[in-house]
Amino acid sequence: MRSHEPRSTSSCAACKLLKRRCSPTCIFAPYFRSDEPKKFTKVHKVFGASNVSKILIEVPEEQREDTVNSLVYEAEARLRDPVYGCIGAIALLQRKMIELQHDLALARARLARYAANYSTGVAGTELDRLTMTGLGEFLVACGGFMDSFNQSSSYQVNQDAHMYDLTQIPYVYHDQL
């Protein structure tokens, strides 16, 4: 009778899915434990084992855990939203950022009016007019960018084409105020 080598009982999730022997130097083993099979399934489905391996080999060992975590995050985003993936999340965050900066500008203008009203005792002062002019210019600049996101008010995946203007990514924020 042929003798069989004992099967390894410590295959990582990657080698289990790929149905291969998990070597002691397996690049996946430290990051894809056998008790987390879904983690590797996700990255394999989006990136492929070979590409994940190449990416991990490229980065220093101390950064591989962060690399795996970001690949898993990206894979999950892409599986949830096959059209936009993480880019959809970026677009939503940028829209939220613009709305918040708008709100902050309004709040600061209101606060400045309190100061102006106290110092002069009269509503509608010169400071008030200047503050509103600056605010007006800022809001016009924001409005142009917001137009490209006005086609959908909610994150409806796979529902609308041309939902996001990808030419606006990344939008670099500067302190406008």
Partner 1 sequence: MNPGRCAACRYLRRRCPPDCIFSPYFPPNNPQRFVSIHRIYGASNVAKLLQQLPSHLRTQAADSLYLEAQYRIEDPVYGCVGLISLLQQQIHDVERQLAMTQAEIAFRARHPQAVESNLLNNVGNPSFSNQASSWFM
Q: Footprint of partner 1 on this chain (CB under 8 A)?
A: 45-48, 50-51, 55, 58-59, 63, 66-67, 70-71, 73-74, 78, 82-90, 93-94, 96-97, 100-101, 103-104, 107-108, 110-111, 114-115, 118-119, 158, 161-164, 166, 169-170, 173
Q: How far is the CB of 42 from partner 1 (least distance, A)?
A: 12
Which of 11, 90 has the CB closer to partner 1?
A: 90
Residue 61 token pair: 């060992």
Give the amino acid at 23.
S
Q: How far is the CB of 9 from partner 1 (least distance, A)?
A: 31
* ∠ Cα 101 152 136 (to 5°): 30
Which of 11, 49 has the CB closer to partner 1?
A: 49
Q: How far is the CB of 68 from partner 1 (least distance, A)?
A: 10
Residue 13 token pair: 């999730």
Which of 16, 165 has the CB closer to partner 1?
A: 165
Give the amino acid at 119.
S
Q: How far is the CB of 102 from partner 1 (least distance, A)?
A: 10
Q: Is 113 helix (H, G, I), strand (E, B) or coil?
A: helix
Q: How far is the CB of 6 from partner 1 (least distance, A)?
A: 34
Which of 21, 97 has the CB closer to partner 1?
A: 97
170: preceding bond cis by omega (within 30 degrees): yes
SS3 of 97-139: the string is HHHHHHHHHHHHHHHHHHHHHHHHCCCCCHHHHHHHHHHHHHH
DSSP conformational letter for 83: T
